[in-house]
Amino acid sequence: MSNIEQTLSIIKPDAVERNLDEKIKSIFVKEGFKIVKEKKIKLEKIDAEKFYKVHETKPFYYDLCEYLSSGPIVAMVLEKENAVSSNRQIMGATDPKNANEGTIRKQYGISIDKNSVHGSDSIENAKKEINFFFKD
C-alpha cells in the first residue's frame, strides 16, 4: 500500500551561505523526493521563535532562533513514500559528529547548531511546519 507523505525541509543559513542549496536539493531528488513547493526567504527573529516554539524551554533556544534568522534559508515541501522518516534518515543525526556516512549532516554540517538542514520529526509537525511556510 502506498503511503505518500509530505514533510518540511529547510536548508539552513550555514548551507545557503556556502551555496550548497542546489547540491542538497539534488540529493533529495536523487533519493526520490518530489520538491512540491520551495521558497528562499530570510526569517525575522520573531518568526524563527514561532517556528521553534517547541524548543522554547531549551537552553539553546535563543541562539537557535538567532541563527535561523541570521541569513537566507530555503524552505521546501518534500513528497515521497514515508517522507517524514525518509528525510530524517537522509539528513542524519542532529550533531554532524554522530551522523551516519553519506547523510547530509555528515557531509555538510559544521556543528550541532550549524547542521545545514531541518526536517519535520512527525506527520503532525510536518503539517504544522508546511502551513507555517506555505499558508496560501
**Closest to ligand UDP by CB, 35 or 112:** 112
CA-CA-CA-CA dihedral for 101, 104, 108, 110, to nearest 10 = -90
Q: Residue 90 CB, nearest distance to Mg ion (Å)?
A: 15
Q: Just list the catalytic residues.
A: 118
CA distance 21 to 13: 10
Q: Residue 43 CB, nearest distance to ligand UDP (Å)?
A: 14
Of 77, 85, 79, whose CA–CA distance to 32 is shortest?
79
Q: Residue 22 CB, nearest distance to ligand UDP (Å)?
A: 21
CA distance 78 to 133: 13
CA distance 127 to 8: 8
CA distance 123 to 26: 23
Interactions with Mg ion, residue window 67-126 (CB under 5 A): 121
Residue with smallest beta-carbon separation from Mg ion: 121
Enumerate binding residues for ligand UDP (CB under 6 A): 55, 60, 64, 94, 112-113, 115, 118, 121
112 binds, options ligand UDP, Mg ion, none, Cβ within 5 to 8 A by partner type: ligand UDP
Contacting positions for Mg ion (CB under 5 A): 121
